[in-house]
């Protein structure tokens, strides 16, 4: 006699339960490691909330996926009303989706805020390029390291008031040789 062992669940459900279990373990390990290693940096950048969201998602997914694997292990069909700790399976999965959606929204918000702060800092440094040595060093280092010029292109320097007006725009229309020499010294963008 040939007995075929059939699982009560579709293979997609079985694989999903395994993947959810793996994701939950990795989410917990990842977020706890980040909190322990760079917790201060997470706090200063405001991404600690995103990391806490990842941890919460992993904590909710772990018992949910373990319950699903437990039911699969006993060759029973997974039902949406199956209890996981204190609530049905579908509620745990729904909360996991909601928490992950909130995490995605928080990530995009933090990226947008970080971009605005960064652009503002670079624009300020571009304006103070000649008068504040720390801003000059910052811009020179940034442009040297990134191999770029300006915020988006070299044209950004034309819209900023960064130049030394006395030195760069002194010219005497009577003395054309002096005027040509001054024009050669005038820098339209910083050297780096």
The domain ranges of the chain are: 1-113, 128-192
pLDDT at 24: 94
Question: What token pair was written down for 173?
Answer: 């229309």
Which residue ranges of the chain lie beneath pLDDT 70? 1-7, 160-192
50 touches 106 (CB < 8 A): yes
**Cα(78)–Cα(16) distance, integer angstroms:** 12
Cα–Cα distances (Å) from 21 to 27, 34, 58, 69, 83, in that order, read 10, 20, 9, 8, 17
DSSP-derived 3-state class of residue 165: helix
Confidence (pLDDT) at 58: 92
Strand partners, 84: 87
Predicted TM-score of the model (pTM): 0.61
């Amino acid at each position: 006699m040939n007995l075929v062992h059939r699982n009560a669940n579709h293979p997609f459900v079985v694989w999903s339960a395994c993947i959810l279990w793996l994701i939950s373990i990795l989410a917990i390990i990842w977020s706890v490691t980040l909190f322990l290693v760079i917790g201060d940096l997470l706090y200063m950048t405001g991404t600690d909330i995103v990391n806490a969201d990842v941890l919460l998602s992993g904590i909710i997914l772990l018992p949910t996926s373990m319950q699903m694997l437990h039911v699969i292990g006993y060759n029973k069909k997974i039902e949406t009303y199956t209890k996981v700790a204190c609530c049905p399976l579908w509620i745990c999965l729904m909360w996991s989706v909601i928490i992950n959606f909130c995490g995605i929204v928080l990530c995009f918000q933090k990226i947008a805020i970080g971009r605005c702060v960064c652009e503002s800092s670079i624009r300020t440094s571009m304006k103070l390029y000649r008068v504040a040595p720390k801003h000059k060093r910052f811009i020179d280092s940034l442009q040297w390291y990134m191999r770029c010029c300006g915020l988006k292109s070299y044209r950004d320097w034309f819209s900023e008031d960064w130049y030394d007006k006395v030195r760069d725009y002194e010219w005497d229309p009577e003395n054309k040789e002096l005027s040509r020499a001054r024009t050669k010294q005038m820098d339209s963008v910083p050297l780096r």
